[in-house]
Amino acid sequence: MYKTILCLTSTLSVVQLHAATVSTTLGLISDYRSAGISQTSGNPAVQGHIDVTFENGIYANAWTSHVDWGDDAKLELDYYLGYSAALSKDIGYDFSVGYVSYPDYSLDINYPQAIAKLHYKNASVAYSYSSNYSNSGKNAGYISLDYSQPLPKKLSLNLHAGRSMGAYWKNMYCGEYNDYSVGFAGSFHGLDLSLAWISTDIHPHTHSGALQDDSTIVFGISHTF
C-alpha cells in the first residue's frame, strides 16, 4: 500500500551520473506505521532507500525497513519504478508501479501495486491499488490526502488523512477504515526533526503487541551529511 511514513532521513551521498541523480538515504523512526497500523509492534525502525532520478522524469527506487510482527518477519523491501512531471507551476502528477516484499519471512505475502498521485501547490492526493494484496487473492486500495503548510523558522505543519478499502480489508478484523495524522517538521542546527500524532478509527483498538492501531506520537530525527 501507499505509505505515508513519518521518517526523517539522512542523505549519505548524491552522485551525478550523466542525466541521472543517485541518492542513498538512511533514517530512524520511533514507530513504523503504515496507514496508521504499526509494523514494528510500537518499536523503533531503521529505514533506508536508494533513489535514481532521471532528468526526463523517470525514477526508480528501493526502500527497506525493519518490521516486527512478533514472528520471524524482520525486513520489508520494496521496489518502485515511476514517472513524474509538472503540468504547470502549481500542478504535477506521478505514476509508479512497485513490488512489496518480505524476503526473510516464512510466509509468502509479497505483492505488486500501482500508485497514482496528483499534486497542487502544497496539497496532494494519492491512490494505490493491488489486485492481490499480501498475496491473499483479494484486492485492496488506499486513498490519501496530504497537505503541508510552511511555517516560520523553516518549520512545516503536515496534515494527512487516508482510507484503506477493498475486499482484503472487508475480510479483516478491522474492516475498511480511516487513518489520520497531524505533525510538524523542521531543521535545527543541522538536525532534521519531526513529531506527529497518528490515529485510526478502528474499534476496538489494538494497544499492544503486533499491529497496534491506537493513537500514538511518532518522532524522527536525522542529520544530513
User: pLDDT tens digits, the chain, 225 residues: what are they?
Assistant: 444 344 444 444 444 445 799 888 888 999 999 999 999 999 999 998 899 999 999 999 999 999 999 999 999 999 999 999 999 999 999 999 999 999 999 999 999 999 999 999 999 999 999 999 999 999 999 999 999 999 998 899 999 999 999 999 999 999 999 999 999 999 888 778 899 999 999 999 999 888 999 999 999 887 766
- Does residue 78 contact residue 103 with C-beta atoms inside 8 Å? no
- Does residue 38 contact residue 72 with C-beta atoms inside 8 Å? no
- Does residue 33 contact residue 183 with C-beta atoms inside 8 Å? no
pLDDT of residue 194: 94
pLDDT of residue 190: 76
Instruction: Report pTM.
Output: 0.89
* 3-state helix vs strand vs coil in the chain, percent to 5: 5, 60, 35
What letter represents residue 108's amino acid?
D
Q: Cα-flanking dihedrals φ and ψ of residue 24, to 5°? A: -120, 130
Cell of 8: 526523517
pLDDT of residue 5: 40
Neighbouring C-beta atoms of residue 137, cutoff 10 Å? 10
Instruction: Please name the helix (run of DSSP H) or strand (run of DSSP E) that holds residue 169, with its range, or none.
Output: helix 167-170
- Does residue 156 contact residue 185 with C-beta atoms inside 8 Å? yes
